[in-house]
Amino acid sequence: EVQLQASGGGLVQAGGSLRLSCSASGFSFEDYSIGWFRQAPGKEREGISCITNSDFTTYTRTSVKFRFTITSDNARNTVYLQMDNLKPEDTAVYYCAASREITTCQAMGLRSLIDARYQYWGQGTQVTVSS
């Protein structure tokens, strides 16, 4: 059974940091790309960052690329999203997802953040940033 477990969310003040984790099981982790998405109340889901586990190439949305960093630990089947200098507008439910279709996040760029390209989804973790 494929499982993706997102964790690490919480309440933080503006300017603070959080590290989200996405633990995966039930599929060949290195054959997939993992993406992070978020959805704020009343807004559409937005792709944030993607990492290809076979070669660790990444793509991160421009609006957060100097504050968010995605990494992967293949030995632990876990992808992390380090979020620094958080802002109130980062408040959202954050989801991780796995894609076999996305073979290289870096080369695909924004196309790697299209949610329809992801086959498996985890439950979300809430991130709330207070001003």
Burial class (CB in 10 A: 0-12, 13-18, 19+), 72: buried
The residues with which 80 forms a beta bridge, in sequence order, are 21, 71
pLDDT in tens, the chain (131 residues): 999 999 999 999 999 999 999 999 999 999 999 999 999 999 999 999 999 999 999 999 999 999 999 999 999 999 999 999 999 999 999 999 999 999 999 999 999 999 999 999 999 999 999 99
End-to-end CA separation in angstroms for the chain? 40
Tell me how far apart the alpha carbons of residues 51 and 96 are, in angstroms, rounded to a whole number.
11
Tokens 């001003």 correspond to 131
Structure confidence at residue 76 (pLDDT): 96
Q: Enter the DSSP assignment of 48.
A: E
* Residue 41 φ then ψ, to 5°: -55, 130
Q: Which residue has the tokens 């959202």?
A: 92
